[in-house]
Amino acid sequence: MPASKEKVTPPPAPLHITVVNGDLTFIRQPLLLGHYRSTRLSGAEGVMNNVLGGGMQRSLDAGLYPTQPGTHQVFVNTVGDPDNPWRLPRPEAVIVVGLGPEGELRAVDLVGTVRQGVLAWAQRRMEEPKVGSALELSATLIGSGGSGISAGQAAQLIAHGVREANEHLASAGWPPVGRLQLVELYEDRAIEAWRELRLQQAACPTEFAVDDAIDPSVGGLPRALDPNYRGASYGFISAQARQDPGLGTSIDYSIDTKRARTEVRGKTMQSDLMRELIAGAATDESTDTRIGRTLFRLLIPLEVTPFLIGTSEMLLEVDSGTAGIPWELLDVPSEGGDDLPWAIRSKLLRKLRTRQLRERPVDADVEASILVVGEPAADEKSYPRLPGARLEATAVAACLAGALGAESVRSLISPPDPTKKGADARTIVNALMERPWRVVHVAGHGEPPSKEVTGGVVLSKGFLGPSEIESMPVVPELVFVNCCYLAQRASESLLAEARPTHDLASFAAAVADKLIEIGVRCVVAAGWAVDDAAASAFATTFYDALVRGRRFMDAVEEARIAAHALGGNTWAAYQCYGDPDWTLNRSAGTQRVARSMEDEFEAIASSSSLRLALDTIEVGSTYQKKDNATQIARIEYLESRFGKRWEHEGDTADAFGRAWRAVGERAKAIEWFERAVAASDATASLGALEQIGNQRALLAWSMVERARGEGDDSKLREAVKDARADIASALELLGRMNDLQPTMRRAALLGSTYKRLALIETLAGRKDAAHDAVVSTVEHYAAAEKLGNEIGDDDVSYPGLNHLAAELVLNIGNEKWKGFAPGAAEKVRRRIEAKALSDPDFWTVVDQSGIVLLETLAAGTLAENGAKIETELQVLAGRVSTAWMWSSVRDHVEFLLLPYAAHASGPEKKAARSLLALVERLAGKR
């Protein structure tokens, strides 16, 4: 009997990979993104969240968002562009994969989480009735915006993850991913990714096929303004203890900030000496002002020092060997002579490196309440009363109740009467378990763990510690623990066995460790006994900042400043662990407070970096819909700080002009474009000359429009006079450029400028001048159409449509005119329809109505067809209401209908006036 032959699954075809340098918002394919554990969506995630109408942030707030490697969530894009509802949603979907905490992502984790994300999307596609032979997928350089993963490494690992997914898909008989498109905004990072992928292709030619070059796309930038790109706004430094046989303990530093991305090995420490120094520093009784500088010199290698100086936001990752160090006390020199301590001016937060995180903890939602415990009942023989703890808790409860409402805060605080005790253990534990608490604040006695006791906040019976909080069905997002460490008792009884005397900083770190393990997002724990007044100032300032929508990092900074102003070292006692971007008031917190302009643009040290900053602003306004007021403020800052220094460089002035143009400030744009072309270094582009003419014409027409809207005839006459002169200047400049080298764009700019001149002269009642302007409009749009046809330009329908419109206006009232040349209107119509099929937008849709209007006016049948045209425009306005778009439509319709209505009579005149009134309303004018 012949042996049975097993069915062999053929290996997948090579994965075709393209690296794109461009903006994410133009990507059509499903987009794969990675998410480091955080409560804020930044970078590419933030952009896509806006594209999807906020659905990703809502998932994050609900605790459904993927955070750990291997987790994933698919967001199908059902939200269209409000300015372009005809185009299919871009991207088709967003697939988010978890990356875990920053700094802990391993290569195998990245490959695995990408694989699972791809399989999840493939499964979703298989649920659809029609699936092609191969899937297409796009992805960012996942993981490279954090610590430890370069752009090139990310590209290789993503490719491996997709390749592994294809193997699984092939064995299941499902269509594989045939093409992977890696999208990167910055060209230098895109090139790095492409190079590493080409090396990978050389090593595995049957598995990968990488394009011969990167693909430049819309909105790409040459590089990031910051020399070391990070997806997060804060710097990241890891300090990990390492035991060297025979050498003792040393600290390895990993640096990922705007100033560096590198690893530096620390020098070996004398452990006994370091423990003695830490014990002396970590106490409220310490008055030695030199200890911070001593710790800095012993702990921080010279190579690391420059990256700490001047840091504005810093997340410090520690492990069990370095968590007990009072890093907050380090006296790091300041860059600008700032006398605030380094931990305050750098907004220092801690992050605990741990592998013991609870899988998928259930977080409290935004409706959960806040529990404040102050001076719980305890054995007074061993634990004296703490009026400071009671006062602190009372102030915190009042602060939160005043901001969030009394019903949102449960207070278990001892009464002012010293003969009455606070809440007992049963009351406190019952309260913890009775409902979800989003924040738990505790002020009372603390007992470190030992062989005899579990340790924690002292209660009437036992302790309130991490194990009790772990038993809560819903894990709080923030736990604030401020404990007095029994300074009146013998010091030997305060500390766990094998710990040095007064090792209170280590105890606070251990508390944070346990709380973070069970899923608490943010922890504040006092490392030593604190001054009552400073402690109250810290706590109330901290919570006041949170209820105002400030990030955890910003709230800690404000609290430290308030406590520091009162003297002593209480401000440094608080070890603050957690997500820098966590917010208590999420509705306010999702709109992050922007960094100061000085911090944002601190990397500018040359005119080339200034041009890059301006280019970044232009891209943000043109393609990413950045807030216009914020963008204007950025340009104003750059202009005030660097404008005088480099205004005589033509290419720099050109960049200022383009940035101002992108935010709609035409007068400022003209000013800078004129400086650009006047610069003696001749580095300005020819586009600067074109823009001088174009912006002058647009500004002139806008001045006339404003005067017309005010209804003041004298102002209108003055505006018309000024506009006529400005347009003459624009025409002279554009004409000289077009004579030098005719292009479709220049000819079309001349046509549009003459078109506006015709409108102005019509408003002024100068029929002959208006007629001459229309003649020139016809001439230049016809030339633009011819040039476009010769080179096969996809946008040739624009000058074609305007050529027909100007020809029509020129012949209104001309009985000898026989209409458009045979087939001319149909040719333009086919071009408009072809563009509407391939890439529809507002302009292609309105142009379809525009060609109908032209044919209707040419036939003199507006009274018959006008109502249908009005209905089409009203339907369009129901989908797109952007005022500036409809203003452009109004200008075009007025160019046609003002002369048409002047010659028409009866029903035709009435129909023309009705259509004019409609476009005026749609444009929001009069």
Does the pTM surpass 0.85? The reply is no
Mean pLDDT by 10 residues, the chain (926 residues): 53 88 84 87 84 87 87 87 65 92 86 96 84 84 82 94 94 91 93 94 93 89 73 79 73 72 60 60 57 78 76 84 84 75 90 64 64 89 85 92 88 89 90 87 81 76 77 84 52 30 57 77 85 90 92 94 90 89 64 56 87 91 83 94 92 95 92 92 87 89 87 88 92 90 93 93 90 95 93 88 94 90 91 80 86 93 92 84 82 92 92 93 72
Q: Write the single-letter amino acid at 290.
A: R
Given this model, what pLDDT does residue 607 score? 92
DSSP secondary structure string for all residues of 720-777: HHHHHHHHHHHHHHHHHHHHHS--HHHHHHHHHHHHHHHHHHHHHT-HHHHHHHHHHH
Tokens 């840091």 belong to which residue? 311
Q: Is residue 182 a contact partner of residue 20, using CB atoms and an 8 Å limit?
A: yes
What are residue 405's phi and psi, to 5 degrees?
A: 105, 140
Q: Label residue 315 exposed, middle or buried (CB < 10 Å: 0-12, 13-18, 19+).
A: buried
Look at the block and give the residue holding tokens 């400071």: 388
* Angle CA 525–529–532, to nearest 5: 100
pLDDT at 591: 39
Question: CB-side exposure of 583: number of CA atoms within 13 Å?
Answer: 20
pLDDT tens digit string along 29-40? 899 999 988 777
Would you tell me how many other CB atoms lie within 10 Å of the CB of residue 387?
13
- Neighbouring CB atoms inside 10 A of 732's CB total 10
Amino acid present at 603: A
CA angle at 393 for the pair 389 and 397, rounded to the nearest 5°: 175
Q: Which two tokens stand for residue 414?
A: 């001892």
Q: Cα-flanking dihedrals φ and ψ of residue 660, to 5°?
A: -65, -40
Phi-psi region of 462 (alpha: psi -120 to 50; beta: other; left: phi over 0): left
Tokens of 221: 């930038």
Query: Cα angle at 111 between 107 and 117, to 5 degrees?
Result: 140
Question: In whole angstroms, what is the distance from residue 245 CA to residue 265 CA?
Answer: 16
Find, among 519, 399, 623, the residue nearest to 37 by Cα.
Answer: 519
Dist CA 187 CA 614 (whole Å): 16
Helix (H) or strand (E) holding 523: strand 522-526
Name the packing angle between helices 744-764 and 686-710 (round to 10°). Answer: 20
Three-class secondary structure assignment of 534-562 = HHHHHHHHHHHHHHCCCCHHHHHHHHHHH
pLDDT given at position 500: 37
